[in-house]
Structure 1
Amino acid sequence: MPKKFFEVDFPMIVARKIHNIKTKPPLSKPLIETHSTDSLLLDGHSLDSDRYCIIGADLRDIPTLEDKLKKFQINPELPTLFLSECVLVYMSPEQSSRLVHWIAETFPTAMFINYEQVNMNDRFGHIMIENLQRRQCNLAGVDLCQSLDSQKDRFLSSGWESVNALDMMTVYSMLPQEDVARIERLEFLDEKELLQQLLQHYCICWAVKDKLNLGLSQIGF
């Protein structure tokens, strides 16, 4: 059982999330068992409880991020799992590399799981990029999404001990067939080839540092 969950997002997004937590009992009730609602809200962009903390910060501003995490008493010596879903791709390669390097230096026993685009240098990838650009969505870090190797290199060059990566089509093909059949019954697929192309352009990449020798490098599919 994890000791505590920390969530980081832009301050404006965090403010909306905190509002939803405070106004929806299914979200707030688990947090106020040992706190009053007012004592949970430390300021407009952060909320803390025994098991969950949400912080408004820009991941590109590492000194401020570090200060806020220390304020809420994160313990870098504990084994820590980092989860990122289509986040690093919106940073420049230099910014995302600085972030994952800082994590590797600060947390000696950690795993970083990153889900985002891959194989973006083919025609399908170019169409994805063009569609996002038309919506004013700039993938500043797309250069690191060219292949599974480029995804892994970001971590290997930033102090992580071992890294693995799979595209989501490979992950999908590894699921038990009864689960695949159940999923496909729930969501009727009349464009299976399109789904396969889409899954080939997303990946899951996981990097490990294991000072405590917990066998984290053995975790995989």
Structure 2
Amino acid sequence: MLLCARGYFARVHGVNQLLKAFLQKTKCHCQVLNLGAGMDTTFWKLKDEDLLPSKYFEIDFPMIVTRKLHNIKNKPLLSKPIVELHSEDMLHMDGHTLDSKRYAIIGADLRDLSELEEKLKKCNMNTQLPTLLITECVLVYMTPEQSANLLKWASNTFETAMLINYEQVNMGDRFGQIMIENLRRRQCDLAGVETCKSLESQKERLLANGWETACAVNMMELYSRLPRAEVSRIESLEFLDEMELLEQLMQHYCLCWATRGGQELGLKEISC
């Protein structure tokens, strides 16, 4: 847990920095697609900070979406902000979908692109808007062909777009192999691990699938860039005498981002 806490902080900080930079560049006249969103609460945080995009989409397996919708229905802290944004006739919810003017949750398999696109269009996805796509430990669970198809679909569908991807890297060394073996024992197979060989292979995958720029940084490097006051606060809450293990772990996760179009918005200037 100690190792995960610092990695979690670095990941959240990095993703949020890129997300907010995109929102600022587009002045929130954009849409966000969180692919494999799980129980993520970014929509509510953005609303509290008055940074909501034109529309925020979340996509995950129907089983996950059903559980999230149940939580929203039964927790006023989650449901009230959504209701506040819409009149009753503009809010539609069923077992696998919630759709409203500013927020949508969709149950779909990201490997089935025709189904994904159909459901997004039903929820009024606008391909003309600058679009940010977020994938956190999602692509690595797909085969390389499946993740390549998703990346191509995204780059072909939106003329102006940015992608943020967080997942494993440097998985070809001994530490990476131990990680793979440990996950396999838990019946968790990383079907796309061959694309996670290095920061270069991560960038090359993005460029090969229609993205015009690509950047990647491992989480240890990102952690070293964090505001010192925040790092001191986190480190004061935990005792850790295995810094070498921390560094090894964080060197095996990375944050990647890519852009397509948006020169007039300055998307290529975004970094973390």
Give the TM-score normalised by the residue count of structure 2: 0.78
The unaligned stretches of length 5 or more in structure 1 are none
The structural deviation recorded for 1:176 is: 2.5
Decide whether aligned partners of structure 1 residues 85 and 134 sit closer, same or farther in structure 2, where only a CA change above 3 A counts: same
- Kept in 2, the 8 Å contact 1:40–1:49? The answer is yes
User: Which protein is richer in helix relative to its size?
Assistant: 2
- Kept in 2, the 8 Å contact 1:104–1:158? The answer is yes
Counterpart of 2:140 in structure 1 is 89
User: Could you report, residue by residue, the CA deviation over 1:111-151 in whole angstroms, capped at 9, with x for unpaired residues?
Assistant: 10000000001111011100100010010000000100111
1:22-171 map, 5 Å: 22-33=73-84, 34-36=86-88, 39-41=91-93, 43-171=94-222
Counterpart of 1:18 in structure 2 is 69
- Kept in 2, the 8 Å contact 1:104–1:159? The answer is yes
The DSSP-based 3-state class of the residue aligned with 1:32 is: helix
How many angstroms apart in 2 are the aligned matches of 1:131 and 1:210?
40
How many angstroms apart in 2 are the aligned matches of 1:188 and 1:80?
41
The DSSP-based 3-state class of the residue aligned with 2:151 is: helix
Alignment partner of 1:191 is 2:217: no
How many angstroms apart in 2 are the aligned matches of 1:46 and 1:35?
17
Amino acid at match of 1:36: E
How many angstroms apart in 1 are the aligned matches of 2:170 and 2:69?
36
Decide whether aligned partners of structure 1 residues 138 and 37 sit closer, same or farther in structure 2, where only a CA change above 3 A counts: farther
The DSSP-based 3-state class of the residue aligned with 2:116 is: helix
Higher relative contact order (CA 8 A, sep 6+): 2
- Kept in 2, the 8 Å contact 1:35–1:49? The answer is no
How many angstroms apart in 1 are the aligned matches of 2:239 and 2:87?
45
Give the TM-score normalised by the residue count of structure 1: 0.96
CA RMSD of aligned residues (A): 1.5
How many angstroms apart in 1 are the aligned matches of 2:61 and 2:125?
19
The DSSP-based 3-state class of the residue aligned with 2:54 is: coil
Q: How many residues align?
A: 220
How many angstroms apart in 2 are the aligned matches of 1:37 and 1:171?
45
How many angstroms apart in 1 are the aligned matches of 2:229 and 2:83?
40
Task: State the percentage of identical aligned residues.
Answer: 63
User: Could you report, residue by residue, the CA deviation over 1:169-208 in whole angstroms, capped at 9, with x for unpaired residues?
Assistant: 0101111222221111123222221111111000000000
The DSSP-based 3-state class of the residue aligned with 2:271 is: coil
The DSSP-based 3-state class of the residue aligned with 1:136 is: coil
